[in-house]
Each structure stands twice: as structure tokens, then as C-alpha cells.
Structure 1
Amino acid sequence: MKDKLQFYINGSWVDSESNERIEVINPANEEIIGHVTAGTKGDIDRAVTAAFKAFSSFQHTSKEERIELLNNIISEYENRYDDFVQAITEEMGAPLWLSEKAQASTGIKNIHETLDALKNYQFEKPEGDYTLIKEPIGV
């Protein structure tokens, strides 16, 4: 792991309001494998504000656009699978085989299940004289 000293907020990597660093320690050997920045209330507020802003446009994306987005996430996850395995091994102190066969594979499995659920989800459902339309209410 490398030092991760910025937060991804509103589509950009940004510095924290804080200079405080937290050591990331591999519990298997107690070695420091990196540092992360301690976030502040202000950092959280910026992230929440960005999420609300994103919701106003994302709520209008079509099912097909969301399916494409999840497919892109799956593709990138698969391309970086070994990076996930290595990070999990270092951060959890887990054996490499466990990180590869159980931990990292669970992440990709969850995304595939989300994709399958989206493909089969009925946003509009006829109910007799009316149609039930389900709309997003948050991010």
C-alpha cells in the first residue's frame, strides 16, 4: 500500500482540511504499510454536498446507462483484481490465498449480483388501473 492522503470528492482528488495522518498497519507483521489522512467534519460535509449534487443528475440516468456503468466497474475491478488482493492481504494481514479466493472475489461477486438485480428490477409495474413507478430518493 502507498500513502493515500487525499479524498475523492465531487469527481476529483482533494486534500483534507486536516494534516493528521493515520498509520495503516499490517496486523500479520505489525509493519506500517502506508498512511491515510484523518478526515474532518468539513471533509464529510464536502462529500455529502457532492453526493446530493450527484443525485440530482444521477436520478435521471436510464436503466441501460446504469447497467453500462456497472459493467464498466466490473471491467475495471477485473483489470485491477491483483491490486485488490494485494491491498487486502496487507491491510488485513490475511493469507494471500484467502484474499484472492474469498475477500476480493466477494467484491466482484457483489457487483455482479447488483447488476443482475438491476437488470431484473421493475421500475414501472402495471397494477390494474394504475402504474406503480419507483423513483430514487437518495444516494
Structure 2
Amino acid sequence: MERITSADEVPEQGSYLFTVTEADGSEEEVILVRLSDGIGAWKNFCQHEIDQRLDRGVGNGAAIRDGEILCPKHGSSFDAETGYCDNGKAAGSTLAAVDIAVNRGDVFLTDDDLTFAHEGGIDDGDMPGSTSHLSF
């Protein structure tokens, strides 16, 4: 179990961005979001277009409205609790979940296939930014 951050650092609206290392050595971004009864973790990409980040690493993180995580490019919305999308180009898909636990006010990575790398996004510039014209 690796500590990611304090639960207090996960915003009420938006997301907390961090980077993990996959078993194959590649890096992936993950977002933490507030749920009705805790905190959830999802890999930071839209299921319709995997190079489209939900949290672009600026401002308050991913756009979240009425319990839905919004894709900034096409506007598909994913239920923050389940990751499921029932609209837009990503309809019928589900965000990739990451296993975490909250204990004594801290958030821990418990996913056996991932290793915590660092806070924030991937630093090497391989992940493209949003091409969105939407703003929230």
C-alpha cells in the first residue's frame, strides 16, 4: 500500500491528478474524485479517445457536474461513482478503475498492478493536451 495524498487534498469539485507506473514500466495518469461516500480513482482518459485527458493538469482538474466527470473534448459524461457513460461518443463504456483505500485521512494506492510514481501528470510530454473548445 502506497500513500498518494491526504483525503483533504481531493477537491470537492474537480480532481486530484497523480502518475503511476504500470507493470510494464509505462506511466499512466490517474485522477481522484470525491464521491457521495468517499473517494474514487479512475485512469485519466476518455474511453472514446484514450489520448483525451479528463484532467488536463491545469486549474481545478477534471470538469465535474452533478456527479458526472465530463470529457472536455466531446462532452461525454461518466458517472463519478461507477465510471459508466450513457451518452455521447463514449456511451456504453466505463472508465478504467484504479484500486485505492482511504485510511485515517490518507488515500492509498492498493492496486497490485500499479506503483505510485508522483503527484501531478506525466512530465515527459507524451500525453497530449486537450483540443477542446468547451469550457466549464
Q: TM-score range by the shorter chain?
A: under 0.3
- Greater strand content: 2
The structure with the largest alpha-carbon Rg is 1
- Greater helix content: 1
Q: State the TM-score, normalized to the length of structure 2.
A: 0.19
Q: State the TM-score, normalized to the length of structure 1.
A: 0.19
